[in-house]
Structure 1
C-alpha cells in the first residue's frame, strides 16, 4: 500500500511536469487514529492489518521529501476551514460521511489534536448500545449506523430477505459495485425502500451532530464526504431536522449546519494546506 501511495505522488509530480526535487513537502491524510507528531498510523479500522504503521518515515524514505501526516478527516476539515471558510469561524466541526465517518475539530481558530493527537474520531461515538458491529470492534458507533458501509449493509441484508428494490434491476441481484450515486438514482425513480434506508442514516447522523453541538457549541457544522456529495438533497434536510430535534433546547441559536462545497476536493486541499503549514 505504501509503495502505491508513493507511486501516486511521483505520478502526480510527473503529470505536472515537475521534478520531485521541486516539491517542498507532501501532505497525507490517513484513515483511523493517527499520531501526527510521530507520523504513525496507530489504528485504521477500515484498513485490515494497519496498526502502528510508520507511514511518514516510510514515505520519506521512498520520496526523499518531507511528509506531513494527519488523520484524513482532520485534513478534510483543515481544507474546508482554510479554503471554504477562509479561516474565519473560531469554532467549527467537520463531519465527513463516506465508507466510514470521521471528523475534525477547529477550536479557537486552530485544528484540535487532543492529548495524543487522535481527536476527531467522531465516527466512533456510540449512538446505539448493542447496535450493529463497527469495524473498530465496538457496537452502535455513529459509523456503523450512518456511513455508506452501514447503508449498503442494510440494503443488502434486506434484499437477501426478499425486499424488492429498483437497485437489483440496475445492478443485478447481488448489488455488485453499488455506489452512493446509485442510491440517488433509485430514490429519484421512486424507490421508497432505498429512501427509507437513507433517511434512517440521515436521522442517526443528525443525532451524532446534536451530541457534538451539545458538547462543543461550534459556530458551524460542515458535513461532507462522498455520501453527502451524492445524496445532499436526499440527506441534508432530514439530517438538519434530526439535529434540531435532539439538541438541548436553546443550544442551536446561531449555529449553522451546512454541506461542504468542496466535495471530494476537501482532502486534497487540506493535504496541500498541511504541507504548506509544515514547510512555512
Structure 2
C-alpha cells in the first residue's frame, strides 16, 4: 500500500462519529461517540500482548473495525480515532511501552495507513486524566492531577485547564517517583518507586516476598504456593476475610501512595486529585482513608485544605472518553489547505 497523505485523508473525512480506544496490557476498550461526544457503544477484546507487539497492533485494528461493524457502520462513518497507550508518546511514536512489547513504534502512522482514518495518539494516563477532567468534573478545575493504580502506576496533569505533557512529553510519570530508596523493585521501575510499592505488581511482589519468608495468606489456598495470577479482586476478597498479611501489605501500599500524593500536592497544589485504576476500583474503601490521612500528614499545615482526593466514577470509560475528546480537538486543530 502506498503512503497515505494525512492532509488529503483528513480532508475527505466526513464521518459523524469519533472512536476512543484505550490499550492496556490485558484488554483493549474501544468506544463509539457521536458528534456531541456522547458514548453510543463499546467494544472490548483481549490485548494478547504475550504474542508480541505486532499482534497488539492487529488487535487495535480489529477492535476498531469490530466496533464499527457491530453498529452497522463503515470506517467512512468515522471522522477520527483517539488512542491511549502506555509509554511516552512523542509525535505519534510510542517509547518504552514494555507491557505491549513496543519500543519506538510509529503507531499513529501505522494505524492511519491501515484504517485510513485520522488517528491521534497520546499516553493512556494523560487521556484518562483528560476524560475525568472534561466529563466527570465538567472541565471546572483549573488544576488537577490523576493517579492511576493498576498493573502499574501512572498519572496525568491538568494545569490552567489544559493537559500538561512537559518538556519531554513525560510529565505525570508519578510511578517513577522514589518513595523509599531501599524499597522493593519491580521490573521496569526504580527501586522504592510508587510503581514498585503501590501498583498491583508491587503489592503482589511484596506478598510473594512475605510468603517466601514464611508468612501465610489465605490466597495460597486458591492460587497456590507461588500466588500465581493474583488480581485486584483476590486482594479485595482477602481483605473482606480479614487476611492479616494482605491487610498489612495493602495498608503499606496505601501509605506509600499517600506519601507520593503529598509530594504531588506540594508541587502542583491541584484542586482535585482523582484516583482510578483496577487497584483503586477494587480496594478504594480500604485504601482511600489511609491515603488521605497519610497525604495530610506529609504536607505543610493547611496546604491540603480544600483539595479533594477522590476515586473517579468513570472507571474504564475515562480513557475512551479522553481519547475521543483528544481526537476531535486534534482534528479541529489540524493545518488546513
TM over 0.5: yes
- Pick aligned residue for 1:97 from 124, 146, 149: 149
Change (3 A) 1:131 1:46: farther
- Alignment of 1:114 onto 2:166: yes
- Pick aligned residue for 1:12 from 28, 43, 67: 67
Equivalence for 1:268 = 320
How many residues were matched structurally? 277
**1:79, 1:275 → 2: CA distance?**
12
The alpha-carbon deviation at position 155 of structure 1 amounts to 1.0
The alpha-carbon deviation at position 168 of structure 1 amounts to 1.5
Q: Which runs of 5+ in 2 are unaligned?
A: 1-55, 333-337
Change (3 A) 1:98 1:190: same
- Pick aligned residue for 2:95 from 42, 62, 71: 42
Change (3 A) 1:136 1:170: closer
The alpha-carbon deviation at position 95 of structure 1 amounts to 0.4
**1:101, 1:235 → 2: CA distance?**
15
Equivalence for 1:33 = 88
Runs of 4+ aligned structure 1 residues displaced above 3 Å come to 45-48, 134-137
Equivalence for 1:2 = 57
The alpha-carbon deviation at position 76 of structure 1 amounts to 0.4
Equivalence for 2:197 = 145
- Pick aligned residue for 1:195 from 214, 224, 247: 247
Conserved? CA contact 2:85–2:122, under 8 Å:
yes
Q: Secondary structure at the match of 1:25?
A: strand
- Alignment of 1:215 onto 2:267: yes
The alpha-carbon deviation at position 165 of structure 1 amounts to 0.9
Q: Secondary structure at the match of 1:69?
A: strand
**1:42, 1:279 → 2: CA distance?**
23
CA deviation digits over 1:17-64, x for unaligned, max 9? Answer: 2111111111111102111xx10112224344x221111011111111
Equivalence for 1:67 = 119
Equivalence for 1:238 = 290
Conserved? CA contact 2:81–2:117, under 8 Å:
yes
The alpha-carbon deviation at position 4 of structure 1 amounts to 1.5
Conserved? CA contact 1:84–1:262, under 8 Å:
yes
**1:264, 1:152 → 2: CA distance?**
22
Conserved? CA contact 2:207–2:249, under 8 Å:
yes
Q: Secondary structure at the match of 2:79?
A: coil
**1:230, 1:16 → 2: CA distance?**
31
- Alignment of 1:170 onto 2:204: no
Report the more deviating stretch, 9-18 or 220-229.
9-18
Q: Secondary structure at the match of 1:27?
A: strand
**1:187, 1:209 → 2: CA distance?**
23
CA deviation digits over 1:196-246, x for unaligned, max 9? Answer: 111110000001100000010011111111110011101111111111111
Q: Which runs of 5+ in 1 are unaligned?
A: none
- Pick aligned residue for 1:23 from 70, 75, 78: 78
TM-score normalised by L of structure 2: 0.79
Conserved? CA contact 2:190–2:196, under 8 Å:
no
CA deviation digits over 1:163-189, x for unaligned, max 9? Answer: 211111232333232210111111111
